[in-house]
Amino acid sequence: MGLKHIDRLASTLRYLTAEQVIYRLYYRARSLRVEPVKDVALRSSMRWASPGFIQQSTSDGLEFSFLGAKGRIDDLGWNAAQHSKLWLYNLHYLDDLNAVGIDEQNTLARALVNRWIEANPPPSGNGWEPYPLSLRIVNLVKWFARQEALEPHWLASLAMQMQALTKQIEYHILGNHLFANGKALVFGGSYLAGPDAERWLAKGLQILDREVKEQFLEDGAHFELSPMYHATLLWDMCDLVNLAERVDLPELKARLPEWRAVVTRGLLWLRSMQHPDGGISFFNDAAFDIAPLLSDLEVYASRLSGCLPVAENSPAAAFAVIHHAQSGYAAINLGDGHKALLDLAKVGPDYQPGHAHADTLSFELSLFGQRIFVNSGTSRYGEDAERHRQRSTAAHNTVEVAGENSSEVWAGFRVARRAFPVLEALAADAEQIRVRAYHTGYRRLKGKNLHRREWLFSANGCQVIDEITGAYGNAVARLHVHPDVIFAWSGEALVAVLGEGQQIRVVIEGASSVKLQPSSWHPTFGSTIPCQCIVAECSSGKLMTHISWSGSV
């Protein structure tokens, strides 16, 4: 192990909590044992009902499609090595039990449950790891609670899965994994009866009491600062409210006011961070077709009591800035389908930045209701070169200095030294919105550099001013262009014409060179779509990018 790797590892480990270190060592030292649970019974005759958003991954229970890849369990089993870990996790979640339309295919769902139980004895295989355990337990409880009759071995298996989960709660990871553990324990403990179920319920509520306060910030955002994970965890919160409204358990009823407030704030945050096309923005790990849409969440919240924000609380006024002080993002509404989303945020919680990208001070821009400048998105997890590239500064609409990332993202989910942003100015009047910030991510370089960026928005234009302090060899600013938009040179300007004749112009001052280069956009897992990238090299310390737009002529 070289000195550079040791330094990077040390810079990563210094942010971990003592709890994470202790549990990581503990879980490595002990083996998991799971015993049958005696006298498994139901606590109540709960009937589950909720809207859905997940689409079926299988039509026969044998061939499955996840993340753009297909596989058959009759050929390769449930733990086939040629599939990625994430693909196998998706297989073991059994999300199909609550997919749209599954209640009209009960034979398929019953076969899927029985096939999983028969082929996955405890405690080995991907399906017995705590995260897939957690998601599958919730899926099973929801599905069981919609059945007229249950097979006895279903409840026995559910109880064993609950027992396995309690022995490997993810205190070594924390974040959304620990939240999922707590949610599963509450669902299973609310559905089953007996002393074990009481302990599971109490443990799950203990985790949620801690993690709901920790993970949902005052401005409504989930603290891992990924719009995709925010939407996922917000659906989880709706599930918890729904559960508390359906079962007669005082300990759940007592938490309803807090849980409902989290849903309401979370919806407001997500509304502000949407593009005009209704989809999420791509900051940190984010992609389509994983999490529910805002519209899905609003349908769910409308079916719960006291969760859906009233219309006038949705900040959608033209020419207005919404700054989320706790999460660090800003939304600039310019009217007529024009909207900018700015990343003024930390990479994530200090002790769990696993879903972070080196995207500090990046931004996305929609004009005339269409995405124009986009961050790269996320097509894969893992530890390969493409995963590293998609997390890099170069894959985002910000400035790369000396070929380095603003935060030292490495492996698949690690961050060593990281950028800390500082908001210097935020002001708005009837004619202009001004935002200025800098980050410290390049302080580790020889030139002790700071990247400062200022945005000036008007009704029909945006000026982005980048300054790099300290000595450096080269800095590169990038604007990744949505695949549906094509720029071409027109004199000293780059010009794109949209479908209805609207025109967008980009003029860059202070660059030693400006080029149009090929790039790629990754809107879903498993997808790569060619696109353009505007690349401006700067060696003078200051770069001015003028973006203007006009309607059809």
Helix (H, G, I), strand (E, B) or coil at 58: coil
List, in order, residues 6 or more apart from 299 with CB less than 8 Å away: 51
| pLDDT band at residue 553 under the 50/70/90 scheme | low
For 405-415, what is the mean pLDDT? 94
- Considering only CA atoms, which of 510, 375, 511, 345 is closest in space to residue 435? 345
* Sign for the pseudo-dihedral over CA of 346, 347, 351, 352: positive
DSSP state, 447? Answer: T
Q: How far is CA 112 from CA 88, 95, 147, 522, 538, in A?
A: 15, 11, 14, 31, 57
Q: How many other β-carbons are positioned within 10 Å of the β-carbon of residue 55?
A: 12
Give the distance, in angstroms, between the CA of residue 331 and the centroid of all CA atoms in the same chain.
Answer: 18
Residue 523's pLDDT is 98
Helix, strand or coil, per DSSP, at residue 279: coil
* Peptide linkage before 123 cis (omega within 30 of 0): yes
444-519-525 Cα angle (round to 5): 90
How many angstroms separate the Cα of 358 from the Cα of each of 95, 326, 400, 420? 31, 19, 10, 11
117's CB contacts (< 8 A; 6+ apart) are: 153, 154, 157
Three-state DSSP state, 122: coil
Mean pLDDT over residues 176-193, rounded? Answer: 98
Report d(CA 55, CA 524) in Å as an integer: 14
Asked whether residue 144 is assigned to any structural domain, the reply reads: no
Q: What is the pTM of this model?
A: 0.96
By residue range, what is the domain housing residue 351?
320-550
Per-residue pLDDT at 314 exceeds 50? no
- C-alpha radius of gyration, the chain, whole number: 25
Within a domain: 112: no
Residue 391 has pLDDT above 90, yes or no: yes
310 within some domain: no
Task: Let me know: does 218 contact 281? Beta carbons within 8 Å.
Answer: no
The reply to whether 227 falls in a domain is no
CA proximity to 284, closest of 369, 364, 368: 364
- Judge whether residue 356 has pLDDT over 50: yes
**Average of per-residue pLDDT across 291-314:** 88
- 41-42 and 192-193 beta bridge pairing: antiparallel
Q: Could you read off the pLDDT of 11-65 as tens digits, one per residue?
A: 998 999 999 999 999 999 989 999 889 889 998 778 999 999 999 999 999 999 9
Six token digits for residue 374: 């986009």
C-alpha to C-alpha distance for 67 and 225, rounded to whole angstroms: 22
386: which 2 tokens? 């493409």
* Range with lowest mean pLDDT among 17-31, 34-48, 363-377, 405-419: 34-48
Residues 482-498, mean pLDDT to the nearest whole number:
97
- What's the pLDDT band for 476 if we cut at 50, 70, 90? very high
pLDDT tens sequence across 426-463:
999 989 999 999 999 999 999 999 999 999 999 999 99
Per-residue pLDDT at 172 exceeds 70: yes
Q: Would you mind telling me the total number of residues written for the chain in this entry? A: 553
Distance CA 204, CA 196 (A): 12
Are 418 and 407 in contact, with CB atoms under 8 Å apart? yes
Residue 365, amino acid: L
Strands (E), 145-209: 192-193
Mean pLDDT (whole number) for 138-152: 96
Query: How far is it, in rounded angstroms, from Cα 461 to Cα 448?
Result: 33
| Residue 411 predicted with pLDDT over 60 | yes
Cβ-Cβ contacts under 8 Å for 224 (sequence gap 6 or more): 175, 176, 215, 230, 284, 348, 349, 352, 354, 355
User: What is the number of other CB atoms lying within 10 angstroms of the CB of residue 243?
Assistant: 24
Residue 119: inside a domain: no
Q: Please state, rounded to an integer, the average pLDDT across all residues of the chain.
A: 95
Provide the domain count of the chain. 1
Q: How confident is the model at residue 3 (pLDDT cuts 50, 70, 90)?
A: confident
Nearest of 113, 179, 186 to residue 146 by alpha carbon: 113
Non-local CB neighbours of 350 within 8 Å, separated by 6+ positions: 15
Asked if the structure places residue 267 within a domain, the reply is: no
Which element (helix H / strand E) includes 470? none
What pLDDT is attached to residue 46? Answer: 87
Which pair of tokens denotes residue 326?
């706790």
CATH number at residue 483: 2.70.98.70
What is residue 313's predicted lDDT score, i.e. its pLDDT? 43
Contact (Cβ atoms closer than 8 angstroms) between residue 524 and residue 287: yes
Query: How far apart are alpha carbons 390 and 377 in whole angstroms?
Result: 7
- Is 377 within the bounds of a domain? yes
pLDDT at 539: 74
Place 315 in a pLDDT band, splitting at 50, 70 and 90: very low
pLDDT at 317 over 70: no
Phi and psi at residue 253, in whole multiples of 5°?
-60, -35
Output the pLDDT for position 458. 96
Q: Which residue has the higher pLDDT, 124 or 516?
A: 516
Residue 437: strand pairing partners: 423, 453
For residue 372, give the nearest of 286, 277, 290, 445 by alpha carbon: 277
Residue pair 341/332 in contact by the 8 Å Cβ criterion: yes
Domain-embedded: residue 228: no
3-state secondary structure of 295: helix
pLDDT by residue (tens digit) across 82-112? 899 999 999 999 999 999 999 999 999 999 9
Can you read off the two tokens belonging to residue 137?
A: 């337990």
Question: Which parts of 487-536 fold into alpha helices (H)?
Answer: none
**Encoded tokens for 455:** 């945005």
One DSSP character per residue, 373-400 reads: E---B----SSSHHHHHHHSGGGSSSEE
b/e per residue 501-514 (b: at least 16 CB within 10 A):
ebbbbbbbebbeeb
Average pLDDT over residues 482-490: 98
